[in-house]
Structure 1
Amino acid sequence: MKSKILKDWQNREKSIEELHNDSIVWISEINFIRDEIRFLEHLLKDNYIDCLSAGLYKKIETLVNQMSFERVAGKTLEIVIKEQEAVLSNLIKTNSVLSNKNYLDNHRKLEFEMDSFAAKYKRIKKEIFEIIENVMKQKEQKKLLS
């Protein structure tokens, strides 16, 4: 299946294998982010008291809510990607991938949504690390002063 498909949004050809590979990479990235969210939640729980004493309750609450939203968004994206993979499989069987503009449009939208999902998550992750880093520095300074 070395047939090439013109991707309108980048003016380059992408094979059916590359379209399939995109889905595999996206699912992998969603699973990785899901694992990282679990880690970040544990990190926040372990430093929760220190965050409270630093007056960061509202900021932590906002970040936890954003992580919860991203977790749900990841699950939804994963379902949509798997459905898109099923469509691709059917299109391959009927040899009609090249003529199905709807599939290509949906693939492009998924690509945009995955980029957006990953960017939002990375921003949240960066904010959490900055908060935890500052809290840990404050904790160390208190130890040194004691």
Structure 2
Amino acid sequence: MKTTQSLVKYIKWLSAEEMHADSVNWLSELNFTKDEHLFFEHLITSFTMELLELKYFASDKEIVDAINRSEKQNDLLLASVTAHEQQLKIMVDEIDELKEEETYKETHRKLTIEIHQFLEDYRMLKAQLFDIIKGIKKEQKQRYLLDKNH
């Protein structure tokens, strides 16, 4: 909670260049995440049969649903950041539009928090997915070794 409060104060002091740099960084991270979602879809497709096995199905279905929700949220954030970046001219046009500038800064603050939370949740989701795939691969290896010995 303390981080969020200091983050709010920090946003008030960001220059237009710093907010632009934040937006560019967010777009880069969100576009990379979009590519990773495609990789996850391929990975899930590759392991469909294993994921459908009874002992994995319930938790794996939740992970697949979470990945789909994450993908949709990523697309929404990409659209929001793109729109936010296009409105940056409010901050640099040398026209005093205090209300619009404050609104822009407030939007930037909210995006900072949303994107930070999204990326944190996304990293946890990735770890869960890789744990599931690791478990499947481990089980496949054990089956292979058992079959090889018999």
Instruction: Give TM class, smaller chain.
Output: 0.7 to 0.9
Matched, 1:34 2:31: no
Q: Alpha carbons of 1:45 and 1:126: their partners in 2 closer, same or farther (altered >3 Å)?
A: same
Q: Alpha carbons of 1:119 and 1:11: their partners in 2 closer, same or farther (altered >3 Å)?
A: closer
TM-score, normalized by length of structure 2?
Answer: 0.83
- Superposed, which structure 2 residues align to 1:16-27 within 5 Å? 16-27=16-27
CA RMSD of aligned residues (A): 2.1
- Superposed, which structure 2 residues align to 1:1-146 within 5 Å? 8-10=8-10, 13-53=13-53, 55-96=55-96, 100-146=101-147
Cα distance in structure 2, aligned partners of 1:140 and 1:88: 53
The superposition leaves residues 82-127 of structure 1 with CA deviations (integer Å, 9 ceiling, x where unpaired) of: 2212221133124447772221111010000001111111111100
Deviates more, 1:43-52 or 1:92-101: 92-101
More strand per residue: 1
Cα distance in structure 2, aligned partners of 1:97 and 1:32: 35
Can you give the 5+ residue segments of structure 1 that lack an aligned partner in the other structure? 1-6
Deviates more, 1:94-103 or 1:136-145: 94-103
Q: Alpha carbons of 1:97 and 1:117: their partners in 2 closer, same or farther (altered >3 Å)?
A: farther
Q: Alpha carbons of 1:60 and 1:43: their partners in 2 closer, same or farther (altered >3 Å)?
A: same
Give the % identical residues. Answer: 28
Equivalent residue of 1:14, what SS? coil
Q: Alpha carbons of 1:123 and 1:101: their partners in 2 closer, same or farther (altered >3 Å)?
A: same
More helix per residue: 2
TM-score, normalized by length of structure 1?
Answer: 0.85
Equivalent residue of 2:55, what SS? coil
Letter in 2 for 1:40: F
Q: Alpha carbons of 1:84 and 1:96: their partners in 2 closer, same or farther (altered >3 Å)?
A: farther
8 Å contact 1:34–1:71 — kept in the other structure?
yes
Any runs of at least 4 consecutive aligned residues in structure 1 with deviations exceeding 3 A, and if so which?
Answer: 94-99
Cα distance in structure 2, aligned partners of 1:11 and 1:34: 27
Higher RCO structure, 1 or 2 (CA under 8 Å, sep 6+)? 2
Q: Name the count of aligned residue pairs.
A: 140
Can you give the 5+ residue segments of structure 2 that lack an aligned partner in the other structure? 1-6
